[in-house]
Copies of this chain bind each other. A is one copy, B any other.
Amino acid sequence: MDTIYSDGYPIFFENAVDELTAFIKNGKYSRVFILVDENTSVHCLPIVQDKLGNADNYDIIEINAGEECKNIDFCIGVWKMLIDFGADRKALMVNLGGGVITDMGGFAASTYKRGIDFVQVPTTLLSQVDASVGGKTGIDVDSVKNIIGTFTQPKAVFIDYDFLQTLPPRQILSGLAEMLKHGLILDASYWNQLKQADLHNPPAELIHASVILKNKVVMEDPTEQNIRKSLNFGHTIGHAVETWSLTHDGDPLTHGEAIAIGMLCEAYLAYKRTGLSKNELDEIQFVIGGLYQHYSLNPAMYEDVYNIMLKDKKNIDGKINCTLLNRIGEFNIDNFFEKEELFEALDYYAGL
């Protein structure tokens, strides 16, 4: 699996942890800080430390796990650790974890002393195929997601398949939703490969292919004018359902589970609006429906979900903006919908 080149930095796949340790050892960094959460500290850090050997110029910064920690208080904690450790401008930050660690560590590093170098070592499938590419860093404030952040590229990304061995199955499925999305919006033959694979253990090559697809999109449209909007497929409705679930369910949906719901609803809208065939709609439903447990959507929650969608920054004049498909492998941006049509899409999912 070839190294992928993004906006000025490499994304390593083969022997990625070896590449990481070489990068750390050869880099002229005054000190190295490895940011982990309580889970990657147990499951991933030993793998890195094993290869680092007795290199002694690094410190560990550990935070709690979970989206609720991706906030300004934990970020201040990270900054203060850097201050206490006397980190100077030549320090390196290694973000070893899922999207929470790569987003928050990237933000902390991009603002410490107006920016120190950082590298991303994504350890969840979601962060490998999505969060680690594109240069977005961020934290949540007042539970508004990613409201504070920067566009800053890492010096390198190291994607090691082995980290996924300890990842819980629900987290695999969460990242898988983005891989399915990449196929649906961009590449029918990749979608066909996915259909034939064991998607509960997605093979390394398909992860690599997914990163190539995402990287192509963000390289062509870094500022989200047009084709980068393709990545929103499934996310208008999916994100609203995710937010609803977070505030109402004891065991809320993961991001990918919600996006799976969103993709089904929006595939239905594509069938109604942009020419997706009934056959292809059924195929998408068959594949996604076979992977993710059905979630019960109750008409009593539709208004709430709609109100969440109304806050979406992509809307115009109160109409909801969705990225759809013309067919599998071809996206169609900036489709606007009224409430009734969205409710019909939710009904479609609810009736499956």
Which residues of A approach B to under 8 Å, CB–CB?
Answer: 72, 76, 79-80, 83, 88-89, 107, 110-115, 136-138, 141-142, 144, 146-151, 313
Contacts and interface: CB of A to CB of B under 8 A. Distances in A.
Contact of A150 (B142, B144, B150): B150
A147 B83 contact: yes
A265 to B, nearest CB: 25
A135 to B, nearest CB: 9
- Copies per complex of this chain: 2
A141 B111 contact: no
A272 to B, nearest CB: 29
Contacts of A88: 313
Contact of A147 (B72, B79, B144, B148): B79
Contact of A113 (B111, B114, B147): B147
A316 to B, nearest CB: 12
22 contacts: A72-B72, A79-B141, A79-B148, A80-B141, A83-B141, A83-B142, A83-B147, A89-B313, A107-B111, A110-B150, A111-B111, A111-B149, A111-B150, A112-B147, A112-B148, A114-B137, A114-B146, A114-B149, A114-B150, A114-B151, A115-B151, A150-B150
A276 B99 CA distance: 56
B76 A111 contact: no
A149 to B, nearest CB: 5
A111 to B, nearest CB: 5
Contacts of A138: 114
Contacts of A147: 79, 83, 112-113
Contact of A76 (B79, B110, B141, B144): B141
A336 B222 CA distance: 44
A89 B146 CA distance: 13
A293 B80 CA distance: 37
A314 B110 CA distance: 20
B80 A142 contact: yes
Contacts of A149: 111, 113-114
